[in-house]
Chains A and B, each alone.
Chain A
């Protein structure tokens, strides 16, 4: 038990040190000094999607009935819950931590080891997923440079550190090696299900845009900002609201 906290503390310090190295970005612009490298990995990811992930997700969606897919995705979400709870604690958000705790408790029992999600369905305890990337943000760590990782896809320096810490310290993986394997294995059908359910959206960004790299980067950065700001109840989740919308009209009506 002691060891786990020590491990977590070390990871946290390391993570802060790394994310402190990042260069501040211009408001609204994406900081992407590794663009050429990122584009190589984007080409790889796009190829992997075309030949492997997309066909697999289509086959999965076509052969496995929706309730079964949903249950498998529920298991993955359920095993992810302790990690969310731990990070809510680290972010100092006691209410969300309790929320995650009750979700885990209810879904472990009434939800038959996470196969079902009665916490969200009957009790309105919707999933509040979070991870160490969010914790770093809450602690004031900067976003850092944009990264596109092979297989893992779009990220930032901060989120990459978060991902490593999440994988290394996931509380559920410390229960037993079987649970750790189940946790890793459960992410595969869950990911395929997301790829299947949002097939049109993903296809449109990845395969139908003129510059899919730039489009994916933009979507990721905006969606991360949205989710992080959403956790602040005083904010509705959009940054830089004014700039772009002002610009539009300044160009059209010079008198302003």
Chain B
């Protein structure tokens, strides 16, 4: 729904806008804003790698290792892991955080790598990219054999200093949100002990 506004003359708006841009530029300099094309370029590369792995016919263990590489190369693993851990991330020691991040990246790759096998013979087609709030959303359609197409979205940000993805949504369901709930529940199960959580994650399928 578009509402038409009749406020303020153009000059004042332009000045305000220029001032705002200037302020933003000063704060985040020297980095410039991520463009839709750059976000899309990253996800094109991710999708190419996923296709390569799922259609290579390599044994599952090797494929899962490859998925971990894709995840580590293209995702902001630190930010995702930290967010998944939630408030305990603030009190965990740097050593615990590092151990958790490593365990988490292996766990994620195994869990979702197995699921990506369902994509075998299918294609993920990147459709468009657009800025939404402070992140970019790159949309794609996963066309799997004999199934209704699935809507996918990759959330891309460059706030880490590099252009990386921080979430994948399938039919609106966020991997990041799911993992926040899952890791929270696993941590509860370990009595809130991050070291035990790390051990449990390392031992998980």
Q: Which of A's residues lie within 8 Å of B, judged by CB? A: 66, 70, 197, 200-201, 204, 209-211, 214-215, 218-219, 222-223, 225-227, 229-230, 234, 236-238, 241-242, 244-249, 251-253, 256
Contacts and interface: CB of A to CB of B under 8 A. Distances in A.
A218 to B, nearest CB: 6
| A interface majority secondary structure | helix
Contacts of B184: 211
A222 B115 contact: no
Interface in B133-172: 133-135, 137, 139, 146-147, 151, 153, 155, 157, 159-160, 166-167, 169, 171-172
Interface in B166-185: 166-167, 169, 171-174, 176-178, 181-182, 184-185
Contact of A219 (B89, B160, B178): B178
B181 A214 contact: yes
Contacts of A256: 159
A51 B89 CA distance: 39
11 contacts: A200-B115, A201-B115, A210-B186, A211-B181, A211-B185, A223-B173, A226-B172, A238-B153, A248-B82, A248-B166, A249-B160
B35 to A, nearest CB: 18
B171 A223 contact: yes
A66 B146 contact: yes
Interface of B: 1-2, 78-80, 82-83, 89-90, 111, 114-115, 118, 130, 132-135, 137, 139, 146-147, 151, 153, 155, 157, 159-160, 166-167, 169, 171-174, 176-178, 181-182, 184-186, 188-189
A6 B157 CA distance: 53
A251 B137 contact: no
A67 to B, nearest CB: 10
Given A200-B115, A244-B176, A210 B185 contact: yes
A9 to B, nearest CB: 27
Contact of B178 (A215, A226, A234, A241): A215
Considering residues B79, B184, B189, which has the most beta carbons from chain A within 10 angstroms of its beta carbon? Answer: B79
Nearest to B153: A238
A236 B188 CA distance: 35
